[in-house]
Amino acid sequence: MLLKEGEYRMPIAGKTDIVISGDSPWWALYTRHQHEKTVAEILSNKGFDVFLPLYDSMRRWKDRRKLLSLPLFPGYVFVRGGITRKLQIVSTPGVHMILYRGEQLAIIPDAEIQAIRAAVDGHYRVEPHPFLKCGDRVRVVSGSLEGVEGILTRKKNYIRLVLSVEMLAQSVAVEVNAADVEPVNPPRFIPAPAGRHSAALAKDGRPLARVGPADFGLANG
């Protein structure tokens, strides 16, 4: 089986009758420190549908540098379905607990998983980011991330789209081109008062010709 970059999905030797339903919900495991890859590999070998998004990080020591592949969500592994095999899950070395919301399994929305998967598979520069819930919400309109929604931010000279997993209260950031995004809720156009120029006005009354980087507070200078 050909693996996609950033995920563990391994064939099960001698077993051909394991069927994973595409309608099964995603949920999350909390693992021991630095056990994410081990847990993902073991569960994959047990027949579970597992997603462990990774990113590359250059680490420096006094005498050397090394490119490491690290989990985007440290301490967490995503699993789809299979919760009826709970004993096989919690007995896996490195597993600390299954995430619950009260007495109910904490479901991760499929849209959040698909957004993270698209970012990882699209060979974008991805890294962990402080969890965000406020800011300009935008939608990608072109490229492999087309249709994905997130929060637009800026770091130095780079435009970033922040994707969040609400249940984990964690986010990741993907570098994007400002020309490839549009506001999810664009500014409302208001007709100009009678007898004045017929230019469209934004909510604050200023002329509004188009939406671009400057409208997100991202213009240089």
Note whether 97 and 173 are same-domain residues.
Answer: no
Note whether 139 and 91 are same-domain residues.
Answer: no
Q: How confident is the model at residue 201 (pLDDT cuts 50, 70, 90)?
A: very low
Residues in contact with 82: Cβ distance below 8 Å, sequence separation at least 6, in sequence order: 20, 24, 47, 48, 49, 89
In order of 7, 31, 195, 196, the CA distances from 74 in angstroms are 14, 9, 60, 57
pTM tops 0.75, yes or no: no
Note whether 55 and 128 are same-domain residues.
Answer: no
Stated as kind and residue range, the H or E segment containing 70 is strand 65-71
Q: What pLDDT sits at residue 210?
A: 38
pLDDT at 15 over 60: no
Percent of the chain with pLDDT over 90: 47
Note whether 69 and 33 are same-domain residues.
Answer: yes
**Which residues on neighbouring strands pair with residue 122, listed in sequence order?**
none
Note whether 96 and 48 are same-domain residues.
Answer: yes
Q: Tell the residue number behind the tokens 């699993």, with chain if given.
A: 79
Q: How far apart are CA 57 and CA 152, in angstroms?
A: 22
Q: How far apart are CA 91 and CA 98, in angstroms?
A: 11
Amino acid identity for residue 182 in this structure: E
Which one of 88, 108, 128 terminates a domain?
108
Amino acid identity for residue 36 in this structure: E
Which one of 52, 80, 108 terminates a domain?
108
Residues in contact with 212: Cβ distance below 8 Å, sequence separation at least 6, in sequence order: 178, 179, 219
Average of per-residue pLDDT across 148-171 = 87
Q: How far apart are CA 178 and CA 154, in angstroms?
A: 10
Q: What pLDDT sits at residue 206?
A: 44
Could you report the per-residue pLDDT of 17-47, keeping only the tens digit for each?
333 345 689 999 999 999 999 999 999 999 9
Could you report the per-residue pLDDT of 46-94, keeping only the tens digit for each?
999 999 999 988 888 778 888 889 999 999 999 999 999 999 999 999 9
**Which residues on neighbouring strands pair with residue 149, listed in sequence order?**
139
Domain that holds residue 45: 1-108
